[in-house]
Amino acid sequence: MVSLLLKSCPQTAASASLESLLEMLNLGLTSYESESAFNKSTRSLQVFEETGISHSEFLHRQHAEEGGGPLGGPLKYPNSCILWLHADQSVLDERLDKRVDDMLAAGLLDELRDFHRRYNQKKIEENSQDYQHGIFQSIGFKEFHEYLITEGKCTPETSNQLLKKGIEALKQVTKRYARKQNRWVKNRFLSRPGPGVPPIYGLEVSDTLKWEESVLEPALEIVQSFIQGRKPDAAPVKMPYSNTENKRSSHMCDLCGRIIIGDREWAAHMKSKSHLHQMKKRRRLDSDAFTTIGSQSISPDRDKELEEKGSVGQNDEDLKSSV
């Protein structure tokens, strides 16, 4: 919409800032939200202009390409290799905790207080704070909410306790995020090996004293071999998976009314929340049918749910449960 406006009146667009344009449109969005909405709509219009198909259709086709999957299209650079640094979970957790402590020592609290005073305090007073959107949802701010709003208004002991609570929450969420990143590598690359998926070379970074021999040297050897078209000494990481597994097989789930492609995805679907929910519902309906003669076998909100989830393909829940 914004982009159409820009095109239809270039004169206005040239002189008006994004903010005043949005004021004109009176969308009632914050500048961060409006910028994000602006970027999204511009990209969607650009895709339509270049390809003649909708942005969602474009993404759908991209994911269906060779080497693409539910987590994205094929790689931008076809001849790639990936170096994956990984450490023992306990070592990594310890490092992440230390990183938070280092951030605190480097002045994180002053930065948070300053940000809170300038951008957050007023919103809280107006009761319009929303930690689900924009910059406010980023890791490292919302965890200190209680501490920031009560600082100076409660006893030093309480304040100190709230600070400790915030620090602990920040450490937890940082560690959770690191696990999520590792899961992403496993899901995107390791669980779906194929022609469009680059080799992943694991480098062990648990012991930093052995950095040169266990990280730097093997990394250089891998990259050099790769550039020269040789096979590196190291073997790429492989996830154990069944050879008999068929990635293109299609399965129809009558219960959910969905077609699921691939054995692995099918196995994940059977365990997914959405499927189990449908199963529960079906059981409930079946038991109702015993008591109500001539009852309808389809619940009224079933179609609505399917619409919301998208009927074909894989959803987030399936992915999560395949981790």
Residues near Zn ion (CB under 5 A) are: 253, 255-256, 275
> Which phi and psi angles does 283 have, rounded to 5°?
-60, -40
Helix, coil or strand: residue 235: coil
CA–CA gap between residue 140 and residue 178 (Å, rounded): 14
Least distance to Zn ion, CB of residue 276, Å? 9
Least distance to Zn ion, CB of residue 194, Å? 25
Nearer Cβ to Zn ion (175/275): 275
Nearer Cβ to Zn ion (171/275): 275
CA–CA gap between residue 117 and residue 53 (Å, rounded): 46
CA–CA gap between residue 65 and residue 86 (Å, rounded): 29
Least distance to Zn ion, CB of residue 192, Å? 21
CA–CA gap between residue 223 and residue 83 (Å, rounded): 9
Least distance to Zn ion, CB of residue 63, Å? 20
Instruction: Using the Cα atoms of residue 137, residue 140, residue 144 and residue 148 in order, give the sign of their dihedral.
Output: negative
> Is 86 within 8 Å of 203 (Cβ atoms)?
yes
Nearer Cβ to Zn ion (255/306): 255
- Partners of 260 in the β-ladder: 251
Rounded to 5°, the CA angle 167-169-174 comes to 95
Nearer Cβ to Zn ion (142/258): 258
308: CB partners within 8 A, 6+ apart: none
Tokens 């929340």 appear where?
273
Helix, coil or strand: residue 250: strand
Nearer Cβ to Zn ion (256/268): 256
Nearer Cβ to Zn ion (6/256): 256
Nearer Cβ to Zn ion (169/255): 255
Least distance to Zn ion, CB of residue 290, Å? 23
Least distance to Zn ion, CB of residue 274, Å? 7
Nearer Cβ to Zn ion (235/312): 312
CA distances 260 to 204, 268, 302, 315, 318, Å, are 36, 10, 18, 10, 10
Both tokens of 145, joined, read 């909410």
CA–CA gap between residue 101 and residue 95 (Å, rounded): 10
> Which phi and psi angles does 60 have, rounded to 5°?
-60, -45
Least distance to Zn ion, CB of residue 255, Å? 5
Least distance to Zn ion, CB of residue 273, Å? 10
